[in-house]
């Protein structure tokens, strides 16, 4: 990759965040947010502080949307989106499937993204129109698959505790149609792992933009396909993400979209 992108100035900060997340793990303090099962730890907050400080140092006029903070410079046409720790429930339970996402939206279009798998030390990168990379090497989907053999990743929103039945119709339809389902608990890696020839597809309701928008750019640049409930590339307002290897996109999309529980209609 011979280009200079703005995000490259923030690369050391994302690695500093990863180091602090690892250092804080032993005995980490865990708190609940609105839902008892929706967690935040002191490591989420420390990682966020490192990333926000780096962005405001290098790009003081840019906007920032980060999971655990108020939006900064909301009127800017350049906005950094941060998930300082994706997979908080994994992290709180010492399960090493944890990522950091940092990405840039320019005029509402994702243009540059990093997803760092912190325990495997793998950095995924995506640049609009200029490819996807894994630890600096070009990343392309090479996996040949069919819907019957596809490995599908998913996750459930935190209101599953009270509304689990709302999500079962789609889940059951996918279970009946594919080779296997995985729930690994880190949405950014679920999507990057389609680009990385591991998973073949992913869907999730009510995921937040910091969870999957950066990974969606990486996946599309690697040759995959990502849509939201309206059929276009996801935006800040998307309520359903459907991502896949291009080969099964049409079939997978139809399985998900034609099996949505009607209780979700007015929320999509
Ligand atoms: C969560 C993870 C999980 C997904 C949840 C997300 P967080 O993000 O990505 O895989 O199922 O919907 O909220 O809270 O760990 O950043
Ligand atoms: Ca998070």
Atom of ligand 1 nearest to the CA of 39: 14
Tokens of 66: 């980060």
Tokens of 240: 């359903």
Atom of ligand 1 nearest to the CA of 38: 14
- Report pLDDT for 196: 98
Q: How far is the CA of 66 from the centre of ligand 2 (A)?
A: 9
pTM: 0.97
DSSP secondary structure, 178-210, as one string: SSEEE--S-HHHHHHHHHTTS-SEEEEES--HH
Check pLDDT > 80 for residue 136: yes
Q: How far is the CA of 2 from the centre of ligand 1 (A)?
A: 33
**Taking phi first (over 0 means left), then psi (-120 to 50 degrees means alpha), and beta for anything else, what does residue 107 get?**
left
Q: How far is the CA of 186 from the centre of ligand 1 (A)?
A: 6
Whole-angstrom Cα distance, residue 119 to residue 185? 14
Residue owning the nearest CA to atom 2 of ligand 1: 186
The predicted-structure confidence for 12-33, as pLDDT tens digits, reads as follows 999 999 999 999 999 998 999 8
Q: Which residues lie with the beta carbon below 6 Å from any ligand 1 atom? A: 83, 86-88, 155-157, 185-187, 204, 207, 211
Mutation choice for ligand 1 from 33, 38, 87, 95, CB with most ligand atoms inside 8 A: 87
Instruction: Determine the average pLDDT of the residues in 215-225.
Output: 98
Instruction: Determine the average pLDDT of the residues in 178-192.
Output: 98
Check pLDDT > 80 for residue 209: yes
Residue owning the nearest CA to atom 11 of ligand 1: 155
Banded pLDDT at 2 (limits 50, 70, 90) = low
Check pLDDT > 90 for residue 95: yes
Unique residue bearing structure tokens 């053999």: 149
Q: How far is the CA of 93 from the centre of ligand 1 (A)?
A: 14
Mutation choice for ligand 1 from 185, 189, 210, CB with most ligand atoms inside 8 A: 185
Banded pLDDT at 116 (limits 50, 70, 90) = very high
The predicted-structure confidence for 66-88, as pLDDT tens digits, reads as follows 999 999 999 999 999 999 999 99
Check pLDDT > 90 for residue 39: no
Neighbouring residues of 257: CB distance < 8 A, sequence distance ≥ 6: 229, 242
- E-strand stretches of the chain: 30-32, 39-41, 63-66, 78-86, 99-106, 109-117, 122-127, 132-134, 137-138, 151-154, 180-182, 201-205, 224-227, 240-245
Q: Are 127 and 3 in contact (CB under 8 A)?
A: yes
Of 34 and 227, more confident: 227
- Report pLDDT for 108: 94
- Report pLDDT for 202: 98
Whole-angstrom Cα distance, residue 258 to residue 268? 14
The predicted-structure confidence for 155-170, as pLDDT tens digits, reads as follows 999 888 889 999 999 9
Check pLDDT > 70 for residue 59: yes
Check pLDDT > 90 for residue 1: no
């Amino acid at each position: 990759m011979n280009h200079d992108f703005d995000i490259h100035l923030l690369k050391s900060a994302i690695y500093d965040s990863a180091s602090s997340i690892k250092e804080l793990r032993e005995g980490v303090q865990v708190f609940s947010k609105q839902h008892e099962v929706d967690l935040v730890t002191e490591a989420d907050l420390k990682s966020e502080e490192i990333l926000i400080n780096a962005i405001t140092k290098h790009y003081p006029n840019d906007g920032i949307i980060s999971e655990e903070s108020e939006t900064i410079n909301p009127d800017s046409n350049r906005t950094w989106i941060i998930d300082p720790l994706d997979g908080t429930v994994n992290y709180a339970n010492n399960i090493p499937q944890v990522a950091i996402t940092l990405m840039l939206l320019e005029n509402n279009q994702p243009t540059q993204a990093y997803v760092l798998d912190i325990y495997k030390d793998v950095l995924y990168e995506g640049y609009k129109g200029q490819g996807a990379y894994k630890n600096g090497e070009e990343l392309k989907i090479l996996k040949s698959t069919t819907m019957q053999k596809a490995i599908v990743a998913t996750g459930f929103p935190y209101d599953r505790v009270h509304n689990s039945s709302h999500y079962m119709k789609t889940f059951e339809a996918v279970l009946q149609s594919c080779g296997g389902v995985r729930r690994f608990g880190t949405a950014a890696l679920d999507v990057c792992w389609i680009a990385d020839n591991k998973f073949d597809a992913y869907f999730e309701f009510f995921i937040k933009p910091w969870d999957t928008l950066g990974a969606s750019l990486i996946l599309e640049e690697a040759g995959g396909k990502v849509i939201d409930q309206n059929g276009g590339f996801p935006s800040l307002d998307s309520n359903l993400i459907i991502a896949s290897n291009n080969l099964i996109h049409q079939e997978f999309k139809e399985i998900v979209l034609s099996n949505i529980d009607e209780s979700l209609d007015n929320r999509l």
